[in-house]
Amino acid sequence: MDRKQLLDTLTQITLENKTFAEALLLKSETELNHSPSDDTWSILECIEHLNLYGNFYLPEIASCIAKADESNRNLFKSGFLGNYFVKLIQPKPRLNKMKTATKMNPKGCRLTKNCLQVFIRQQNQLLDLLQKAHTTDLTQLKTKISISRFLRLRLGDTLQFVVYHNQRHMKQVQDILDANKKNTLEIRRNSKA
């Protein structure tokens, strides 16, 4: 896979995620904290989940890039495990449910719009890291992962995982907005009947 093409794709997705988060700042905290059902997250819980992952991965990626020598290797080859995680997390038309690690689960936390601002800052950091990655070897450099201190992924796989994970949960946020809108319309229709 071409390094520039990969990083440009990840940058575009990150810009879209950031723009969407900025638009969410216009919503009320009540709407942002509303969950369509007891077993689903609210919008802010989705965002806080991403912040928790960002707190782990962004410093890890930054450290990896800071230690790297400049590389003119323009191709990236995904690793077996990294490729598996990326395919697992990539958004699909109908999201498959996945179990979240307890330390990354914000369910029931009291959240404010501040977590959106944290997410937007993290997206700016990620954009900066994606830019810096244009001169690094995405195949040779490796990062730690959040689920095991013994496993490492290639930097290119880690970057894909983080960006696609963000995109996946932003799709979940859109689904929550759509469900809330549908419920509001049904309530209005029933009250007029």
What is the full per-residue pLDDT of the chain (193 aa) written as tens digits?
899 999 999 999 999 999 999 999 999 999 999 887 778 899 999 999 999 999 999 999 999 999 988 887 889 999 998 998 899 888 877 666 766 766 676 777 789 999 999 999 999 999 999 999 999 999 999 999 887 778 899 999 999 999 999 999 999 999 999 887 776 655 555 665 5
Residue 153 parent element (H or E): strand 148-154
Residues 137 and 86: their CA atoms lie apart, in Å, by 18
**Residue 61 and residue 159 in contact, taking contact as beta carbons nearer than 8 Å:** yes
* Of 66, 59, 60, nearest in space to 132 by CA: 66
Q: What is the pTM of this model?
A: 0.89
Q: Which residues pair with 142 in a beta bridge?
A: 154
Q: Which residues pair with 148 in a beta bridge?
A: 145
* Of 161, 182, 190, nearest in space to 91 by CA: 161
* Cα dihedral 20/78/99/126 (nearest 10): -30
Tokens of 183: 């419920």
User: What are the domain boundaries of the chain?
Assistant: 1-9+40-90+116-192
**Residue 158 and residue 9 in contact, taking contact as beta carbons nearer than 8 Å:** no
